[in-house]
Amino acid sequence: MSVWSEVRGQTIAIEQLSRAAARGRLAHGYLFVGPEGVGKRLVAQKFAQSMFCLKRAHHELDACGECGGCRPFLAGTHPDFQVVECPEGKREIPIELLVGSKENRGQEGLCHGLSIKPLAGGRKIAIIDDAHLLNDAGANAILKTLEEPPDRAILILVAATLETVLPTIRSRCHLVRFQPLGSTDLITLLSADGSVDEAAAREVSLLCDGSLALARQLLDPVLWELRRELQSTLRERRFQGHTLAKAVMSKVEGIAAETSGQREILQHVFKFIVDYLRQVIGGLCHTGRETGSKELQANPDVAAFVRMLGANAETLEGLAVMVDRVIEAGMHVHQNANLSLCLEACFDDLSRKRAELI
Ligand SMILES: [Zn+2]
């Protein structure tokens, strides 16, 4: 079985690397760019394993999974492989991880590791995840390595967007672009271990912008249940905005203890509401049409709301105002507003607008 069979939705990126390997023209520096949670790090690891596999030739870009190169790699003990990422709680990659501590500057760290002779694999390979979190000193160290790449060394930088990587670094790396995952791939990946049922996988695949990581976050049981509760509350003509805000905030605090985490969870909550209201607007616009009725059958919660509301200009306008209000609240939360106050104000406005609908 190919080492690539576990990777889904990134055929173009894999082909680009395979072609380079087949021609014997692998670069010293690669920049993997694409949305979070689509498989960049996984591809980087499979690529490295393929380079270390002792049974498969390098030009095949594949690995057996069993040899004296693959086994230590899979166990995380391969002496010629390093990964650096931003430690949890830090905002940038510490320079020590790249060039060593003050006492041992230049004698340890990723750059030193790449510069020494391979011990077992014939190559030295390093991955820098979160490459957009390199500070100036880190970027300079990496730039030096890329400008004078050690023989047989390959450095793979992984970042979410191209713009966040310094142009000087970008220009010295071969760019490999990664795409958002399609619904089919997401559903397969999410349902693979049986922990997510297919209906939930299908629903979340429409919400997660093609990111497996985001899909998994959204499927947090408390958050996913909160989504259902919000949909059901929004169908009620009268609900208390501040009571709902308190209930939501308490669940958000239960999921994430830190304010930064709560901010992120609240964005998911807003995303749920916006998505739901947009589906309802879509449903109302299609009421009576063949295509619309099929979509509505697929989502009974939306269909129930659509049946309740009449498709008239005021209702559509009112729903659009609600969507705008939630998007506005999302921006406030993003800009460091007080989370509870922001949520209360938003839900109070939604409650008033909802009462006007029908
Ligand atoms: Zn192998």
Q: What pLDDT digit, counting tens, does each position of 17-33 carry?
A: 999 999 999 999 999 99
Region 129-152: what's the mean pLDDT?
Answer: 91
Distance from the alpha carbon of residue 66 to the mean position of ligand 1, in angstroms: 5
CA distances 201 to 34, 156, 189, 196, Å, are 22, 31, 9, 6
Q: In which residue are the tokens 């689509």 written?
A: 38
Distance from the alpha carbon of residue 49 to the mean position of ligand 1, in angstroms: 8
Does residue 6 carry a pLDDT above 60? Answer: yes
Distance from the alpha carbon of residue 21 to the mean position of ligand 1, in angstroms: 16
Alpha-carbon distance 206 to 188, whole Å?
A: 14
DSSP 150: P
Q: What is the pLDDT of residue 13?
A: 96
* Residue range 225-255, pLDDT digits in tens: 999 999 999 999 899 999 999 999 999 999 9
* Residue range 151-199, pLDDT digits in tens: 899 999 999 999 989 899 999 999 999 999 999 999 999 988 888 888 8
Q: What is the pLDDT of residue 297?
A: 58
Q: What residues pair up with 84 in beta bridges, in sequence order?
A: 128
Distance from the alpha carbon of residue 147 to the mean position of ligand 1, in angstroms: 31
Distance from the alpha carbon of residue 47 to the mean position of ligand 1, in angstroms: 12
Distance from the alpha carbon of residue 83 to the mean position of ligand 1, in angstroms: 20
Distance from the alpha carbon of residue 41 to the mean position of ligand 1, in angstroms: 19
Distance from the alpha carbon of residue 230 to the mean position of ligand 1, in angstroms: 50
Q: What is the pLDDT of residue 358?
A: 75
Ion ligand 1 residues within 5 Å by Cβ: 53, 55, 63-64, 67, 70
Angle at 93 between CA 92 and CA 95, to 5 degrees: 120
Distance from the alpha carbon of residue 62 to the mean position of ligand 1, in angstroms: 8
Q: What is the pLDDT of residue 286?
A: 79
Residues of the chain with CATH 3.40.50.300: 3-177
The correct answer on CATH 3.40.50.300 for the domain covering 3-177 is: yes
**For 144, how many CA atoms within 13 A lie in the half-sphere containing its CB?**
13
Region 122-135: what's the mean pLDDT?
Answer: 93
Question: What is the SS3 assignment for 82?
Answer: strand
Distance from the alpha carbon of residue 45 to the mean position of ligand 1, in angstroms: 13
Alpha-carbon distance 341 to 272, whole Å?
A: 19
Question: What is the SS3 assignment for 155?
Answer: strand
pTM of the model: 0.82
How many Cβ atoms sit within 10 Å of the Cβ of residue 354?
21
Q: For the chain, count helices (H), then strands (E).
A: 17, 5
Distance from the alpha carbon of residue 73 to the mean position of ligand 1, in angstroms: 9
Q: Which residues contact 17 (CB under 8 A, 6 or more apart)?
A: 30, 43, 47, 61, 176
Distance from the alpha carbon of residue 309 to the mean position of ligand 1, in angstroms: 61
Q: What is the pLDDT of residue 295?
A: 54
Alpha-carbon distance 271 to 265, whole Å?
A: 10
Alpha-carbon distance 278 to 323, whole Å?
A: 7
Distance from the alpha carbon of residue 36 to the mean position of ligand 1, in angstroms: 29
DSSP 3-state helix, strand, coil percentages of the chain (rounded to 5)? 60, 10, 35
Q: What is the pLDDT of residue 311?
A: 79
Cβ proximity of 29 and 172 under 8 Å: yes
Beta strands 174-177 and 81-84 are: unpaired
More confident residue, 314 or 294: 314
Q: What is the pLDDT of residue 299?
A: 75
Distance from the alpha carbon of residue 131 to the mean position of ligand 1, in angstroms: 28
Distance from the alpha carbon of residue 70 to the mean position of ligand 1, in angstroms: 4
Q: Average pLDDT, whole number, for the chain? A: 91
Distance from the alpha carbon of residue 86 to the mean position of ligand 1, in angstroms: 29
Does residue 120 carry a pLDDT above 90? Answer: no
Q: In which residue are the tokens 């086994």 written?
A: 71
Distance from the alpha carbon of residue 20 to the mean position of ligand 1, in angstroms: 20
Distance from the alpha carbon of residue 145 to the mean position of ligand 1, in angstroms: 28
In one-letter notation, the amino acid at residue 217 is Q
* Residue range 47-97, pLDDT digits in tens: 999 999 999 998 899 999 999 999 999 999 999 999 999 998 888 999 999
Q: What is the pLDDT of residue 26?
A: 93
Distance from the alpha carbon of residue 3 to the mean position of ligand 1, in angstroms: 10
φ/ψ region of 109 (left if φ > 0, alpha if ψ in -120 to 50, else beta) reads: left
Does residue 131 carry a pLDDT above 60? Answer: yes
* Residue range 258-309, pLDDT digits in tens: 998 999 999 999 999 999 999 999 888 876 555 555 555 567 788 888 888 8
* Residue range 193-233, pLDDT digits in tens: 888 888 899 999 989 999 999 999 999 999 999 999 999 99
Distance from the alpha carbon of residue 148 to the mean position of ligand 1, in angstroms: 30
Alpha-carbon Rg of the chain, whole angstroms? 25
Distance from the alpha carbon of residue 120 to the mean position of ligand 1, in angstroms: 13
Distance from the alpha carbon of residue 6 to the mean position of ligand 1, in angstroms: 16
Alpha-carbon distance 3 to 337, whole Å?
A: 46
Q: Which residues contact 238 (CB under 8 A, 6 or more apart)?
A: 351, 354, 355
Does residue 137 carry a pLDDT above 80? Answer: yes
Q: What is the pLDDT of residue 298?
A: 64
DSSP 192: T
Distance from the alpha carbon of residue 258 to the mean position of ligand 1, in angstroms: 43
Q: What is the pLDDT of residue 344?
A: 96
What are the DSSP calls for 83-146, one per residue? EE-PPTT-SSB-THHHH--STTTTTSSHHHHHHSPPSSSSSEEEEETTGGGB-HHHHHHHHHHH
Distance from the alpha carbon of residue 254 to the mean position of ligand 1, in angstroms: 44
Q: What is the pLDDT of residue 93?
A: 94
Q: What is the pLDDT of residue 190?
A: 92
Does residue 334 carry a pLDDT above 70? Answer: yes
Q: What is the dihedral of CA 53, 54, 55, 56, to 10 degrees?
A: 50
